Amino acid sequence: MDRVRTSSKGAVVIPVGVRKSVGLEPGQMVQVAAEGKDRIVIIPMASDPVAAIEGILRGRGGGTVADFIAERRREDRVRRRRL
């Protein structure tokens, strides 16, 4: 785990190894969220959100969009518990 220092404006530099491991490109948007009082999560956003979700429901048994969203939320909760 890398350690970084925050600037006076709250900026941090994400180490190159971390950026490469998640495929983060210069200028790419990220989501930042607090998990509890002692954890910050940074999630890279797709460069092209439309292309990222194209065909996402194909092959999922014909469920509704609401079913798909509920499934993704369950997966996110499990992933966050592992952190």
Kindly state whether residues 41 and 58 are assigned to the same domain: no
Q: Cβ atoms within 10 A of the Cβ of 28, count?
A: 13
Instruction: Give residue 51's domain range.
Output: 47-83
User: How many structural domains does the chain have?
Assistant: 2
Residue 46: per-residue pLDDT: 79
Helices (H) and strands (E) in the chain, counts: 3, 2
Q: What are 34's strand-pairing partners? A: 40
Block means of pLDDT (10 residues each) for the chain, length 83 residues?
94 94 91 92 81 66 74 88 77
Kindly state whether residues 73 and 34 are assigned to the same domain: no
Kindly state whether residues 36 and 70 are assigned to the same domain: no
Strands (E), 1-83: 30-35, 39-44
